[in-house]
Amino acid sequence: MKTCLLSGNFALDTIVTRDYPNGFVIGKSNKFTETLVTETVGNTCGNVACMLAYFGVHTFPIAHLDLSEQGVQIKSDLERYGADVRFVENSASGGTTLLRCTHKRDKTTGEHTVSFRATSPGSRFPKRRFLRVRDEAPAFMESLDFTPDVFFFDAAEAGLRYLAGELRKRGTVVYFEPESDADKNKFLKAVEVSDIVKFSHEKVTDLSFVDHYTDKLFIRTMGAEGLEFNLCGQGWVKVAAVPNDNVVDWEGAGDWTTSQFIACLCERDLLSISQMTTDSVRECLEIACATASRSVSYLGSKGMINAG
């Protein structure tokens, strides 16, 4: 069984749907009721840890959560979805993020939309806790008694970049999926220690950095237009999205794309950039896009798993 070590953003996702018992009028303040659909581990790293386990990859999330009921639930949920939680701990110095996702209708257009609000237990601000680069990250690497096939991270923090760099030296393929490139310095440092970098066309708009590398795979998602990839500076290759006429919730589609792609690389033993070809990457991404398309017919990022 292939292995994936993961670290970055975990949250307890609360999925809520909003209904309008008296109808909906664009531009008006419409009376609504809310229904709680699910409350479970989420955010990019949390989702990928669960989804990869669903695909048969042995996942090892690294998380330092607080002692709150929600922090304890995140660890429990990760284990319930099949992750190995030996590196997930709850302590007074940890941090837990709560993410409320509300499915509703846009006030100005009437179209379906989703709003997000991140907090933490007892605070209106999210609280995240990553391994410190000065001591915790080196100690973790010293104690790690195996070399994972894949390391996934979604936050460009120094401690995670340290793990990425050290694991890459050991032969692990490093997959970086940033939320954005808002902090250019951190972003580029994380790119430097990675083999695969996947990002949204909406969140990373300046692609000039890509031209500096001929030893990486870059994947750029473009929503309904599909995605494109650039392997070792050979130019951008497009992969079309797979249409789905039964869209319920698109928010987890990117995480399904990532997870299915990594699972495909593991299954085909394409675990170094040198082993990848344009055709093999395209084939795995086509499979990933098809899986992502199926996933949007279910409510919640892991609705497809929950449906059995």
- Range in 119-123, 131-135, 228-232, 301-305 the model is least confident about: 301-305
pTM over 0.85: yes
Q: What is the rounded distance in angstroms from the CA atom of residue 206 to the CA atom of residue 186? A: 15
Hey, what's the torsion of the CAs at 107, 110, 113, 114, to 10 degrees?
Answer: 40
Helix axis angle, 184-192 to 158-169, nearest 10°: 10
Instruction: Write down the residue that tokens 């951008």 correspond to.
Output: 236
* pLDDT confidence of residue 69: 96
Hey, what's the torsion of the CAs at 100, 95, 193, 60, to 10 degrees?
Answer: -90
- Is residue 249 pLDDT above 80, yes or no? no
Closest CA to 87 of 51, 60, 47: 60
* pLDDT confidence of residue 278: 97
- Is residue 302 pLDDT above 90, yes or no? no
Q: What tens digit of pLDDT does each residue of 150-175 get?
A: 999 999 999 999 999 999 999 999 99
* pLDDT confidence of residue 259: 98
Q: Look at residue 61 and give its three-state secondary structure.
A: strand
Q: How far apart are the first and last CA of the chain?
A: 22
Section 189-210 average pLDDT? 94
| Domains located in the chain, CATH noted | 1-28+35-129 (3.40.1190.20), 195-308 (3.40.1190.20)
pLDDT range class, residue 131, cuts 50, 70, 90: very high
Section 28-34 average pLDDT? 90
* pLDDT confidence of residue 224: 83
